[in-house]
Structure 1
Amino acid sequence: MKQKRKKICFISSSGGHLEQIRQLKEVSNRYECFYVVTRTKATEAMKQRKYIVSDLVRTNIVVLIIRMLKMFMEQLRIFLKERPDVIITTGAGVAIPMCIIGKIFRKKIIYIESFARINTPNKTGLLIYKFADLFIIQWEELNKYYPKSIYGGWIY
């Protein structure tokens, strides 16, 4: 019987978060994967298979809740279409719905705390740390915030 190749969802906001995800070439070459990213000129130009989704806007609590619900529905449709086995993210807020959806469907969640976070955690990391299957930090200084994390060193 032929074993199914694992499918990976890479999700991140644009900029540095996306650049860190794109450093995982060994993973993307080894498995079937797709990207879920926010819209920018750089993400629209990406050649990899991708979905462009709404981003989180933090103007006020009402807008935040409405945007989070919209993001959740967009990402639920993508999740049900693609059925990833693993979700890998470096954040930021755009990754929260996909990670929650993945956890509901008992998929593996891997969070890599941003390289830019040397001494303090980010809010997305603090939330996803509570349920991630694997939580990787790039700076040992963050161990005090994430005691069950794995120090993986830099991904650059």
Structure 2
Amino acid sequence: MSKDKKKVCLISSSGGHLEQIRQLKDVYNQYDCFYVVSRTKATEAMKQKHYIVSDLVRKNKVVMVLRMTRMMFEQFGIFIKERPDVILTTGAAVAIPMCVIGKSFRKKVIYIESFARMNTPNKTGLLIYKFADLFIIQWEALKKYYPKAVNGGSIY
């Protein structure tokens, strides 16, 4: 990797969030990228450089706090190993620790609100909006929740 080439962490949960982040071909063709994803058969088979991490389980508050703590430690290790310049995410909860870690190390955080969120925000977006360097929405109706967001239009 060239010293001038930025390193980008692409982090998302599986399913639609991952599909959306994979649409950003210009990003991973232009920058040195790696993925951080939750475990599924599809993510285990990914050809791109990736790390499999725990995801949030919302069974009860105690389990949720324990899982978030585990996720924070897992992702901190990845962050230290990879040293990304930018954290780019489409959500969901799996991205929270990496975004917090990245921001605490003064790295850029870019969040793209899910295409599926046409009229209402999601909890992860509401949290990360508070500190993201760039917050992108795909539907103009979300401006009422995210007034400083940039409408990037559909990534599909």
Specify the TM-score bucket, using the shorter chain as the normaliser.
Answer: over 0.9
Tell me which amino acid in the other structure corresponds to 2:121: P
Partner amino acid for 1:124? T
1:101 maps to which residue? 101
Segments of 4+ moved more than 6 angstroms: none
Q: Give the Cα–Cα distance (whole angstroms) in 2 for the partners of residues 47 and 90 of structure 1.
A: 20
Give unpaired runs (5+ residues) of structure 1: none
Query: 1:3 Cα shift?
Result: 4.6
Q: Give the structure 1 partner of residue 48 of structure 2.
A: 48
| TM-score, normalisation: structure 2 | 0.98
Structure 2 counterpart of 1:36: 36
The CA deviation at 1:5 is: 1.0
The separation in 2 between residues aligned to 1:128 and 1:3, in whole angstroms, is: 29
Give the distance between the partners of 2:89 and 2:5, measured in 1 at CA. Answer: 20
User: 2 CA distance for matches of 1:61 and 1:4?
Assistant: 43
- 2:112 corresponds in structure 1 to 112
Q: Following the alignment from structure 2 to structure 1, what is the Cα–Cα distance between the partners of residues 24 and 70?
A: 28
Q: Tell me the amino acid that sits aligned with residue 117 of structure 1.
A: R
Aligned-partner Cα distance in 2 for 1:135–1:95: 14
- CA shift digits 1:35-79 (9 cap, x unpaired): 000000110111000000000000000000000000000000000
1:4 Cα deviation after fit: 2.3
Deviations 1:68-120, CA, capped at 9 Å, x for gaps: 00000000000000000000000000000000000000000000000000000
- Counterpart of 1:57, as a letter, is V
Return the TM-score normalized by structure 1: 0.98
Match of 2:9 in 1: 9
Deviation at 1:31, TM superposition (A): 0.4
Number of residue pairs matched by the alignment: 155
CA–CA distance in structure 1, aligned partners of residues 47 and 155 of structure 2: 21
* SS of 1:65 mapped into structure 2: helix
> Which residue of structure 2 lines up, in the alignment, with residue 71 of structure 1?
71
Percent identity, aligned pairs only, is 76
- 1: CA distance, partners of 2:4 / 2:58: 40
- SS state at 1:62 partner: helix
1:79 maps to a residue whose letter is: F
SS of equivalent to 2:93: coil
Q: Provide the residue aligned with 1:153 in structure 2.
A: 153
Distance across 2 between alignment mates of 1:132 and 1:26: 21
